[in-house]
Amino acid sequence: MKQVTVLAPAKLNLTLDVTGLLPGGYHALDMIMQTITLYEKVIVRKSNDLILRLPGSRIPANEKNTAYKAALAFFHYTGLLAGVEIEIHKATPVRAGMAGGSADAAAVLVGMNELYNAKLSVSELCAIGATIGADVPFAILGGTCRVQGIGDILKPLPPCPDCWFVVVMPSIGVSTPEAFARYDQMGSTVHPDSAVAEAAIKAQDLAALCAAAGNALEECSGAEETPAIKALLMECGAVTSLMTGSGAAVFGVFTQKETAEKAVECLKQQYRQVYLAQPDKGGARVLQPRKPYRRNNRSTMPQQK
């Protein structure tokens, strides 16, 4: 095996609450996180060097990139004396709160584990991922999870009730450190109850889940377009709408595909980056190549003796 292709799904926060401060100044969080069917494609190839490429992207391909850090962390953990070439085809908006960079890092870990037959467990991969970024362990596990602490405490939940997401990226992104700094100054009037949202998921009650949805960082994100996007999504038939992560992307939850598709067309008249997606049941995973079809040339007619 010389190369592996990995799908890296983006994520949305159905809930996000800040529950306190942890040692080291980190914020304690309580969230319901959901991967969605918006994927970046990450190709990892065996190489003598550590090479990162992001064709078509303006993101710098350097040692500060989470994918690069993931490769170094993998080699450090396994002790393998090898290299890897990483090629990332971006699809998730940047500075959106959708964990695009974390998903790439997760994909690198999953892909290198397969490429080098390292046989690391999911728990080991998540432990490595936690050293790279708070969202990386979830990006490895994926699906629907209640996530607490700084992102290191994950509780897998049943799949999210069937629905459609319309995701809108405003013209300007949000810096996560700046959003949390503003939260420390401003606080928030929004504190969603993730326990109620968890119960709604277990009951497969989409209406109750939407009623419990919320984001404590929304008011202090600094994303000025959020209220207008939320209002448009609601006018287009969303059951609820909110910002994801620390921003700046905003999404609406829809019960019908046709309504969601119409909302996409409506929002595209004002915003360049609009996406239609559904809940995804997994995290970063290897895309298995299709086996070539082989025609059976043997006759099914009985042969004469």
Active site residue 90: no
Alpha-carbon distances, residue 281 vs 35, 145, 168, 287 (angstroms): 7, 10, 22, 15
The Cα–Cα gap between 282 and 37 comes to 10
Catalytic residue among 30, 104, 135, 280: 135
Residue 117 one-letter amino acid: N
Active site residue 193: no
Token representation of residue 271:
């915003």
**Residue closest to 167 by CA, chosen among 253, 228, 280, 245:** 253
**Residue closest to 140 by CA, chosen among 125, 124, 119:** 125
Residue by residue, DSSP assigns 123-147 as HHHHHHHHTT-TTHHHHHH-SEEEE
Alpha-carbon distances, residue 212 vs 97, 98, 189, 192, 206 (angstroms): 19, 20, 14, 6, 10
Active site residues: 11, 135
